Amino acid sequence: QLQLVESGGGLVQAGGSLRLSCSPSSGSLDLYAIGWFRQAPGKEREEVSCISSSGRVTGYPDSVKGRFTISRDDAKNTVYLQMSNLKPDDTGVYYCSGIPGSCIVADFETWGPGTQVTVSS
């Protein structure tokens, strides 16, 4: 099973930007759809976006649409989540997960350790 590690989180002021990275601890992610999810304290994990193995993007909720962009660079074996114009409501732990092929959000079950994003007002 693909094991992923998230990085790039931190503390940022509202209106700032961060770029998160998702990479496997071993092996290649080029055959996997990669989804980004986030979880605020005391709340359920929610979908942010997903990119299929072929680069098709789905899943931006209204809360992040126009501010977040998912992309993949298979040469670097990495999927990114570029986050701009960050808001305090974006605060949470961000996770990535992989499944073969295409994005089927309900099928994501395994998560990396996550990276903390904290947006101050």
Mean pLDDT of 79-85: 98
Alpha-carbon gap, residue 106 to 90, rounded angstroms? 22
Share of the chain above pLDDT 70, in %: 100
117: helix, coil or strand?
Answer: strand
Q: What are phi and psi of 76, to 5 degrees?
A: -100, 0
74: helix, coil or strand?
Answer: helix
What pLDDT does residue 37 have? 97
Alpha-carbon gap, residue 62 to 78, rounded angstroms? 25
Strand spans (E) along 1-121: 4-7, 10-13, 18-24, 32-39, 46-51, 57-58, 68-73, 78-83, 92-100, 115-120
The band of 105, judged by pLDDT with boundaries at 50, 70 and 90, is confident
